[in-house]
Amino acid sequence: MPFDCRHRQRHGQAACLTSCPATPVFALVPVARPGDVPPAEPRTIDVAVLDMHHGWPNLGHDAIVHAMQNAVCDIAAPLSHAGLRFRVLSYDIRRGHAVPESPGGRHALYVGTGGPGHLDPRWNDGVSDGAQGIHEDGGWEVPLFRLFDAIREADDAALLGVCHTFGVMCRWLGVAEAVLRGDDKGGKSSGIVDNILATAALSHPWFSRFADALPDHRRFRVLDNRLYDLIPGPALPSSGIGAMAYETRPDGGAGEGITMIEVAREAGGVMPRILGVNHHPEIVNRPRLLVMLEQKYARGDVSRAWYDERRQTLTEPIADEWGDRLLHLTSSYTFMGPLRYHVYRLARQRGESLGLAPAVDEAMLPLAYSFQRTAAR
């Protein structure tokens, strides 16, 4: 399953607290300011995480990093044999204005996190509705939009964005407006809710597989935590952007808010190359999240009260096993599978560029959790 490595499946969730086969070939480097970027290395594959949390405590950032580490763990042996390693550079976008360089140099994969506050930094004055107490300087936005433009132009670069990054991507593209959810929608959308695949997704080479695996071939479960709907504007139909999913109305039909977009596809024509989702597919597999929570508390990153609150949530009995499996399915197709594909593609390409032959092929590895418990496609 693409949200868990084989080592953890064999030895249990706690094994990663003391031993991880990926440790020799995987590292995380925070980039708090532009000058904190380490030198590039020929045998080091650098992946950029766009940290949009503005310093807020969260599990999402670590969940994304651990998803990358899980992917690397499963190819640790061929990476080590080839003398290659992965390094995640986590750029503090909103607080430190640390925006990574454009593709063509060290980065070809960019992954954007969730985060608090309004999707337009000009509204984050610390007091406005929807700012969530965030007060920020929006000087990062223009450089980030230039980066997004460069990623879109580079056929071998990929961008995956969740939640807050999804909203920022919609603003960059000019295809949807961020609207604070009102009382008519029950305010903030939080917890497990349904989304619905758009018609275009049903014929998509990747998302059609997702549709085939869903019980009714359209509706899917997501873990939501958002204050804003992204309401499509008149530019969307002619923009070339693929609307892949929407929120659901109380009657189960498609609502007005868009929740998944595909901006570009990889050269093979199957996997999304630029993909944004307005939910949290990185937050999956509660035993793994408990391990991450223990690590976060042990490092002193969070308070005891913050730790206790989230531990209680993560240890509550699962009321709906099928719902939990559906969340895994959603994570596989909307984030974990595409992430693994692009990570493995980078490993293969870097090895080939150096005249090496790491035994990694992004087209041959399991990428999707199977709801029916059959072999992954």
Q: What is the DSSP string of 153-203?
A: H-TT-EEEEETHHHHHHHHHHT-EEEEE--GGGTSSEEEEEEEEE-GGGGG
Measured in residues, the chain has a length of: 377
Give the span between the Cα atoms of 285 and 374, in whole angstroms.
19
Residue 375 in this model has a pLDDT that exceeds 50: no
Residue 251 in this model has a pLDDT that exceeds 60: yes
What is the reported pTM? Answer: 0.92
Confidence of residue 372 (pLDDT cuts 50, 70, 90): very low
Strands of the sheet containing 85-92, edge to edge, are 26-31, 85-92, 44-51, 107-112, 158-162, 272-277, 254-265, 242-248, 189-197, 219-226
**Mean pLDDT, all residues of the chain:** 88
Give the span between the Cα atoms of 318 and 223, in whole angstroms.
14
pLDDT score for 348 = 92
Which DSSP state fits 128?
A: S
Q: Which of 122-131, 183-192, 320-329 has the lowest mean pLDDT?
A: 320-329
Spatial contact of 307 and 191, defined as CB atoms under 8 Å apart: no
Pairing relationship of beta strands 254-265 and 44-51 according to DSSP bridges: unpaired
| Amino acid residing at 112 | G
Q: Which of 48-62, 150-164, 314-328, 348-362 has the lowest mean pLDDT?
A: 314-328
- Retrieve residue 254's tokens: 């498609």
Which residue from 165, 169, 161, 157 is spatially nearest to 342, judged by alpha carbons? 157
pLDDT 10s digits, 255-284: 999 999 999 999 989 999 999 999 999 988
pLDDT score for 259 = 97
From residue 275, give the alpha-carbon distance in Å to each of 150, 225, 243, 265, 266: 15, 19, 10, 9, 11
Q: Give the angle 356-357-359 at the CA atoms, nearest 5°.
A: 145
